[in-house]
Structures are given as structure tokens and as C-alpha cells.
Structure 1
């Protein structure tokens, strides 16, 4: 029974992520990875994070986040700035263009989440599913 739940979870996650990514690509020419970067930066104080913090939040390697930010910097969505007090630290910061693109994409993304996930969740399932997902996400907190 638990293996069936695990398999269903993996399949559902894979299908949902493919659909949500395709919606972002078609409507905004944006990947899910780019959306996630903009989301984290938009939520951060001052719209900026250390590159290492951003990589950790997105489960990226340092080189992986660097390559992604190279593309996003070229597109004018983010800036990179070296710390004035520590040469080892580089910040990623969302630009005005990045904020605008994020707001546009967020409408599409949130509508997709509601359409493809939220609408399938019955009212009496919301609490138990939320509790279970929180335990999975952070087992030490529950």
C-alpha cells in the first residue's frame, strides 16, 4: 500500500511539473527554474540573496545556479553583484524587468496550480494532505 502511494506521488509530481512548466514556457517563454529563481528573489528582503543561499533554496549546485543566472542576467531579469566586504560573496538581485516578468508568470503559474492540483483536492483532504506534505518537507519540525 505505501509503495503504491509513493509511486502515485512520483507520477503525480512528474506530470504536474511537466504541465506547469509547459504553461510557463508557452505563455512567458520561461522555465520553471527561472520562475523559481525570480520567486525566491522577489520574496527576499531587498530582492536579493547570496548566490549560495539561492542555490541551497533551489537545491542547485554552485555551478548550476551560476549557469542559470548567466542566462537570466543576459535577459535582464537579475543582476549579480560582488559583496563590498567579502570578495567570496556574490549576490543575485531581481531587476525591475525580472519583477514584472515574475508577476506576469505568477498569474499563469498560480492558475495552473489551482487547475491541475487544487481542483482535484477535495475539501476534506486539504488538512490531511497539507499535514503529510509538511512532514515530508521538514521531518524535524513535526
Structure 2
């Protein structure tokens, strides 16, 4: 067994800053959304994806993939949103195994109320705290890390015949 390649001081500083910022940002965004509109940050993300999708609907598998969430975790969240009248599910007409999640009129109205406060807080907590060069570096660096992890994940998944 080989020794681990330990983080140097600058790598550790970057890692710790990333972990702290991610946790604090998630906590604050979740708190703001719960207080303002009664949604978790994850639920807001689901509604946001649906609001951007053609016709306000997506197949559940595509929605789970776009959220980087498990299908079972997404199913639970969509069930909660469905109970609240914000989303409705419908069978796929061309594939009996497929199910669509669609934004309801209530869901659209809630997004119109939720989005301004959410975007303002994202801007306040993160975007406006950084220079344009820092934003570019973060987008490039974290984008590359995400691409690598997604590629590894795709390679590790078994293929079905």
C-alpha cells in the first residue's frame, strides 16, 4: 500500500474554504427558502429545473440526473411537491416505464415568488463577494472537477444490453 499524497498548505486551505463555503451557503439558502416559501433548497432546485424545461416537464430519470440525485431521493421529493400541488406526475405516452414530472400553475407561481429572493441571496453571499476573475477560476476549476467525477461515474455504471 502506498502512502497517501497529503495536501500541502495551499491545497488544504482551498479544500477547507470549499467545504466551509459549501456548507454555509447550502444552510443559508435552505433557511431563506424555507422561511420565504416553505421549500427546501433541493425542492427549489427541482422546481427550477422543471421551470426551465420545455413545457415545464421532464422525465423523472432525466430530472434525477440533472439534479445529481438518486432516483429514489428524487421520487420522494417530487412526491412531497406533488402533495403540495406544485408538481404533477404523468405517464410517458411513448414508454410505459417512463414518468414525467410537470410543474403546475401553482408551482410556477411559487417559483415567481421564490426566485427573486433566492437569486438576491446567492448574489449577496457568493457572487458579489468575488471578483470576475475569481468567479471564472471557480467556474473553470469546479467545472473540471465535476466533469471528471461525472465521467468516472458513467464509466463505473454497468451497461445494460
TM norm structure 2 = 0.81
Q: 1:85 to 1:29 in 2, by over 3 A?
A: same
- Larger radius of gyration between Structure 1 and Structure 2: 2
Q: Distance in 2 between matches of 1:51 and 1:43?
A: 15
Q: 1:128 to 1:59 in 2, by over 3 A?
A: closer
| Runs of 4+ with >6 A deviation | none
Corresponding residue number in structure 2 for 1:131: 140
Alignment equivalent of 1:11, drawn from 20, 23, 33: 20
Alignment equivalent of 2:66, drawn from 57, 73, 77: 57
Structure 2: stretches of 5+ with no match in the other structure: 1-9, 151-161
Q: Distance in 1 between matches of 2:63 and 2:133?
A: 35
In 1, are the aligned partners of 2:50 and 2:58 still within 8 Å (CA)?
yes
Q: Distance in 2 between matches of 1:97 and 1:48?
A: 14
Superposed CA RMSD: 1.7
Counterpart check, 1:88 vs 2:97: yes
- The worse-fitting range, judged by mean Cα deviation, of 69-78 and 56-65 is 56-65
- The worse-fitting range, judged by mean Cα deviation, of 61-70 and 12-21 is 61-70
Counterpart check, 1:97 vs 2:113: no
In 1, are the aligned partners of 2:127 and 2:135 still within 8 Å (CA)?
no
Alignment equivalent of 1:41, drawn from 20, 25, 50: 50
Render the CA deviation track for 1:47-98: whole Å, top value 9, x for unaligned: 1110011111112222211111111111110110011222100000011110
User: Does 1 or 2 have the higher relative contact order (CA < 8 Å, sep 6+)?
Assistant: 1
Structure 1: stretches of 5+ with no match in the other structure: none
